[in-house]
Chain A
Amino acid sequence: MSEVSIRKVVKKYDDVLAVRGIDLDIKDHEFVVLVGPSGCGKTTTLRMIAGLEDITDGEILIGPDVVNDVPPKDRDIAMVFQNYALYPHMTVHENMSFGLRLKKFPKAEINTRVEEAARILDITELLDRKPKQLSGGQRQRVAMGRAIVRHPKVFLFDEPLSNLDAKLRVQMRIEIKKVHQKVRTTTVYVTHDQVEAMTLADRVVVMSNGVIEQVGTPADLYHNPQTRFVAGFIGSPAMNFVPCRLEPQGQSLSLRLGQDIVLPVPPERASRYLAHAQNGKLELGIRPEHLTEARGELQPGVAPLHAKLDVTEPMGMETYVYFDLAGAPACGRVSPNAGARDGGMLPMAVDLNNMHLIDAASGRVL
């Protein structure tokens, strides 16, 4: 087991910059998830760690060693592919032991390791089957088993759950987390699904356009996004963005949305935002759970708002309401008993203690 360091790594395909000089330090035992939309460079980064892609510039270290020119087989890594990539003509046992057999491990050692991995993944009874006799979830387990038996320094996962149906994906997600708790191998996991990223990761790396937008724990990314991209990417339903202006009134600040809506900024935030009062291109970022129905007496920092609802989506434990907020589409989460209905009016409350103010020009969260 080992740490992984990525230093100013660049990947260029002909004229296209896929990865634009990223830095990342992954600690021993850590589970790091690279997440971002397709084409953001996350898979390329993973493949460079694996050694399947050359590095155009920069360095990758596994443990203390620079591995730029080390072939994949000598990097002591194991990789799980999106389409499983099981060897179709081999049994599960042969699939899992292939790497060890190539390295001429003694037979007893191979069997011990395969059985141990099979036990961890609960596939002991499948060892004699061929891949085509397995379901998608079982194949995914075998692919993980093939990685585990190697006892590598680093596990690499390339969107391993995207071929599974929604229910199985949730199951396998938990399974992967359990496996990591048992084997504690340093893991780099690539996905485009932010829910997978949030649920699995010790730390999440959000990438976009070949650069790292932000690195942090899931909670950190959720509550303190540093850029508009991260704010919008993490969380479901996504954060609402409403163009706004700041209006100073002595020591206090108010937030103007469109022509009619003026909301008071909570005092501790007002001091932070005061310097940006003259900025004409600002956006209010507010998560749906901070746009709720008005309940009883409003807390400090919570402002009332009247919304004419366009569409409501009852989810059971809560209802998503969609409405127009000063010209921008907005989504709120209200109680199923709040009386929300399509086309109806609803008195709502916006919790500005959890607001984010974004400089629209730079995309930074202020």
Chain B
Amino acid sequence: MTTTANPAAIAPSRPHYGSMKRERLWALRWSYFFLIIFVIFFLTPPVYMLITSLKTSHEISSLTNPWWVFNPTLENYVELLTSSQFQTFFINSALVSVLVVSITMLIAIPAAFALSRMKFWGSEILATGVFLTYLVPETLLFIPLFKMMAVFAQVTGIQLINTWWVNVILYPTLTVPFCTWIMIGYFASIPKELDEAAIIDGATWAQTLTKIFIPVALPGLIAATIFAFTVSWAQFLYPLAFTTSTDQLVLPVGIITTLIKGDVFNWGQIMTGALLGAMPPLIIYAFLMDYYIAGLTAGATKG
């Protein structure tokens, strides 16, 4: 043994750090633990819907295990898809959603551009105000809105109540503020030099918006579009309050009002309708998921 520096002799005096690998392993275990809880929590209702939709009314009301299908059948699907009522609801929902998304984008994009780029008196207060309106719950708004529509009908003679058109006018009050807010955040993250370069290149404000801002902020635009679509597709309160005739109903309200007759619940078809109704947003999400997430995070940090 010598007394010269020996690495092995120094080593024990160093503080002991936990192994990175082990810490990571535990972090992963916890993540999966909570993820599994979340998955169970969120997937149980749709799974239950699927199971129920495959049963006959007789099997639903009999006392068998509700979590299993003993005699699977597609009769609910066939009945619903061939019913002209369901098709009407679906078409109404689609028309309303497409129109609402278009109107929302036509208003929100120029509004966000103006609020984030053209510094005018009060623009900052206005931008905050836009977001605040989003915080007012629709349950507070539908009565005054109903009154407004009634007065509108008296004054102009155009009766919008009890037509699906009323939804096209009402939904944007929910979608425009939030989409504007998302787009303000997105536009704000575009460097100022980019529009200055465009201005010097001879672009007008409108050209700067259409040729530079919209293409550069496309992910944010898609996020806003998905949001607007989801809100209008799933909207329940306004159509419930404003429309009553069967041919004017949208899907969520239509399913509830036509498949519940008095105290008779046609559970099989209700579940089938809900499941089919959830398909369009699901398909859109699946295609645009990456954009949606990128859009939300960018808007969150830069807004």
Give me the interface of A with B, judged by CB distance under 8 Å: 50-52, 71-73, 77-79, 81-83, 85-89, 98-99, 102-103, 146, 150
Contacts and interface: CB of A to CB of B under 8 A. Distances in A.
A78 B216 contact: no
B275 interface: no
A89 B216 contact: yes
Interface of A is mostly: loop
Contacts of A103: 202
A79 B200 contact: yes
Nearest to A150: B201
B7 interface: no
13 contacts: A52-B199, A52-B200, A79-B196, A79-B197, A83-B193, A85-B193, A85-B196, A86-B197, A87-B198, A87-B212, A98-B198, A103-B202, A150-B201
B284 interface: no
List 5 A-B pairs, minimum CB-CB distance, nearest first. Answer: A99-B201, A85-B193, A73-B202, A85-B197, A89-B215
Interface in B189-227: 191, 193-194, 196-203, 207, 211-212, 215-216, 218
A102 B193 CA distance: 18
Contacts of B212: 87
A102 B191 contact: no
Contacts of A146: 197, 201
A73 B194 contact: no
B197 A81 contact: yes
A73 B216 contact: no
Contact of B196 (A52, A88, A150): A52
B196 A99 contact: no
A58 to B, nearest CB: 21
Contacts of A88: 216
Contacts of B211: 98
Given A87-B216, A102-B207, A72 B194 contact: no
A105 to B, nearest CB: 11
B220 to A, nearest CB: 13
B203 A73 contact: yes
B200 A87 contact: no
B43 to A, nearest CB: 38
A146 B198 CA distance: 11
A103 B203 CA distance: 9
Interface of B: 191, 193-194, 196-203, 207, 211-212, 215-216, 218
A55 B212 CA distance: 27
Contacts of A72: 199-200
Contacts of B200: 50-52, 72-73, 77-79, 99
Contacts of A52: 196, 199-200
B1 to A, nearest CB: 44
Q: Is the interface of B mostly helix, strand, loop or mixed?
A: helix
Contacts of A77: 200
Q: By CB atoms of chain A within 10 A, which of B193, B197, B200, B203 has the most?
A: B200
Contacts of A86: 197
B196 A87 contact: no
Interface centre among A71, A73, A82, by most chain B C-beta atoms within 10 angstroms, is: A73
Contacts of B193: 81-83, 85
Contacts of A98: 198, 201, 203, 211
Contacts of A82: 193
A51 B202 CA distance: 12
B213 to A, nearest CB: 10
A102 B203 contact: yes
Contacts of B197: 79, 81, 85-87, 146
A73 B193 CA distance: 15
A77 B194 CA distance: 16
B63 to A, nearest CB: 62
Given A87-B216, A89-B216, A81 B203 contact: no
A190 to B, nearest CB: 14
A83 B212 CA distance: 16
B216 A99 contact: no
B203 A85 contact: no
A85 B191 contact: yes
A153 B196 CA distance: 18
Contacts of A99: 200-202
B202 A85 contact: no
Nearest to A88: B216
Nearest to B207: A102
Given A52-B196, A83-B193, A102 B216 contact: no
A83 B192 CA distance: 10
A202 to B, nearest CB: 24
A86 B194 CA distance: 7
A186 to B, nearest CB: 16
A71 B215 CA distance: 25
Contacts of A73: 199-203
A52 B201 CA distance: 12
Contacts of B215: 89
Nearest to B214: A89
Nearest to B218: A89
Of the listed residues B191, B202, B207, the one surrounded by the most CB atoms of chain A closer than 10 A to its CB is B202
A109 B211 CA distance: 21
A20 B81 CA distance: 76
Contacts of A79: 196-197, 200
Contacts of B202: 73, 99, 102-103
Contacts of B196: 50, 52, 79, 81, 85
Contacts of A71: 199
Given A79-B200, A81-B196, A83-B193, 17 more contacts: A50-B200, A52-B200, A73-B199, A73-B203, A77-B200, A79-B196, A79-B197, A81-B193, A83-B191, A85-B194, A87-B197, A89-B215, A89-B216, A98-B201, A99-B201, A99-B202, A102-B203
